[in-house]
Structure 1
């Protein structure tokens, strides 16, 4: 359907900004009279107003309102024209669960509701909370919450709770970040436990103590009322119960990892066993495998159980020869210790010559 831009007029009445649309259309097709929704994936981008809504669409005057109150002001937006009708695109996206009213010269000529996400194929839920293991160091730095659909941002402080064994909420456990740390499609949220309370001898740590205490049990709870970006609530709460263990004050050591090397002429996986859980969000972003010519090997990485291992499945069968795994030193364990330094290390006291490489390397050979 081809559309073209038409004129838009703003006017004022009773100190409110109203939105006027001056239309011009020459209709050559049989008119239709049903308002419909323009969708992109699961987003309602706008309303399609058929020319058959009014007898004479030439110079027709439409306004779009939230339904339910005759005093609701018109909604700001753009209108474009095609041979069969008009497309209204609001300045603020249409909201699921809301009903909208179309008026012509002030009189209602139709309504349409934006449906909530259907239960089938579009269920909103928490898919996983990382780390997945249930014994976590008392200096744990981050949680990651993975959702099935994009979520509304800026709502974690009122929808995420950390409870102690008495079911009391632990206030100030999380770092209040604005904006929140979401991935690009808003399905993965990073929750930082307050580093100022985790690092010993800092004022927040001395005054409030660490968020977690060795030997104590906790429950991370995600509220059922949290809404998705396109509408609808989770509908049920999700929780992760865990126990705090001793502090982790040792950096990951790649030289100690256990490597399971595949055979040549196969697409079998290369497996790295870390012997401990590592940071979920970094695991698929810090590894590169190169052959003896320095060319990167194409394939897919798959994180293992409890984030304690990873597998690489090559796109093409392995060839015989020497390979190297390059690991970016920013890779961290659950306490924020990376390959170069401990989370609590004072970097200001280190000279430039003492700084380690940004890349760690592990060599291996593919044989028959």
Structure 2
């Protein structure tokens, strides 16, 4: 692919980034037993999803009766989740959806019950499905809601040395979705996708890319899949609470240029 194809139709963009995904490895998410994202110490009040990362598929669907959120007093937060765990194709990643009706302001469940999470409180997730090797607990401090679309122009690309295999570090203002490692790729100065491995770090607030070949001088591009989201469901083209966002298809990739001298 040459640099003139940067504005190619969305199908070409998806294919280009899908091929990059085959090279993206996230060892920080492949834990023995169970891990989860968000993995950092905080979550936003409008958190939409939690992802479990398993070392093997479950024999049966995750039983949501064994999934609960507790407030700082140890009291269960009722009706926090949809009873709809969503495994991916591999069966090793399971998404837990918090009730979107409690997140979106002005709709029935939000008006009747309020948000499941409230800024300033501590909450604890507990998953004790008997299929797991051990119960999983994660505690978070709830922070203010994040209701803006993802803007890659706010990302900070750290400088790397020419002639090195130094990992490229991209710092983002807020945590990305657990799948984001495979949804960002690097285009070299000749317009080709760079081979290498990608990981998420620092509570999904940092994307790291280790190239298979040394960095050469020139202008590079981060190319960001149109379907990239954060744990609140915000996307490149719209925020989760934006009117009719669920019917809006994000077609345009994000791009961030950086230069190696």
Pairwise same-fold verdict (TM > 0.5):
yes
Shorter-chain TM-score bucket reads 0.7 to 0.9
Q: State yes or no: 1:165 paired with 2:62.
A: no
TM-score normalised by L of structure 1: 0.58
**Secondary structure, in 3 states, of the residue corresponding to 2:223?**
strand
On the 8 A contact 1:251/1:333 being kept in 2, the answer is no
On the 8 A contact 2:120/2:141 being kept in 1, the answer is yes
On the 8 A contact 1:219/1:240 being kept in 2, the answer is yes
Q: Give the structure 2 partner of residue 266 of structure 1.
A: 164
Unaligned runs of 5+ in 2: 1-30
Structure 1 Cα separation of the partners of residues 224 and 62 of structure 2: 35
Selected match of 1:125 from 8, 19, 33: 33
Q: For residues 307-335 of structure 1, what are the alpha-carbon distances to aligned partners after superposition, in whole Å with 9 as ceiling and x for unaligned? A: 11111111111222221111123322332
On the 8 A contact 1:324/1:363 being kept in 2, the answer is yes
Aligned-residue Cα RMSD (Å) equals 2.3
On the 8 A contact 2:177/2:231 being kept in 1, the answer is yes
**Secondary structure, in 3 states, of the residue corresponding to 2:101?**
helix
Larger Rg belongs to? 1
Q: Give the structure 2 partner of residue 290 of structure 1.
A: 187
**Secondary structure, in 3 states, of the residue corresponding to 1:307?**
coil
Structure 1 Cα separation of the partners of residues 170 and 63 of structure 2: 34
Selected match of 1:147 from 46, 54, 70: 54
Structure 2 Cα separation of the partners of residues 330 and 219 of structure 1: 29
Unaligned runs of 5+ in 1: 1-122, 228-232
List aligned pairs for 1:295-314, cutoff 5 A. 295-314=192-211
Selected match of 2:103 from 172, 177, 198: 198
Q: Give the structure 1 partner of residue 232 of structure 2.
A: 335
Residue 246 of structure 1, CA deviation: 1.3
**Secondary structure, in 3 states, of the residue corresponding to 1:204?**
helix
Structure 2 Cα separation of the partners of residues 168 and 152 of structure 1: 30
Q: Give the structure 1 partner of residue 244 of structure 2.
A: 347
The structure that is helix-richer by fraction is 2
Q: Give the structure 1 partner of residue 143 of structure 2.
A: 245
**Secondary structure, in 3 states, of the residue corresponding to 1:167?**
coil
Judged with a 3 Å threshold, the aligned counterparts in structure 2 of structure 1 residues 309 and 164 are, in CA distance, closer, same or farther, namely: same
Structure 1 Cα separation of the partners of residues 223 and 32 of structure 2: 37
On the 8 A contact 1:270/1:311 being kept in 2, the answer is yes
The structure that is strand-richer by fraction is 1
On the 8 A contact 1:162/1:218 being kept in 2, the answer is yes
Q: Deviation above 6 Å: which 4+ runs of structure 1?
A: none
TM-score normalised by L of structure 2: 0.80
Structure 2 Cα separation of the partners of residues 201 and 187 of structure 1: 35
Equivalent pairs counted in the alignment come to 230
Selected match of 2:118 from 213, 216, 228: 213
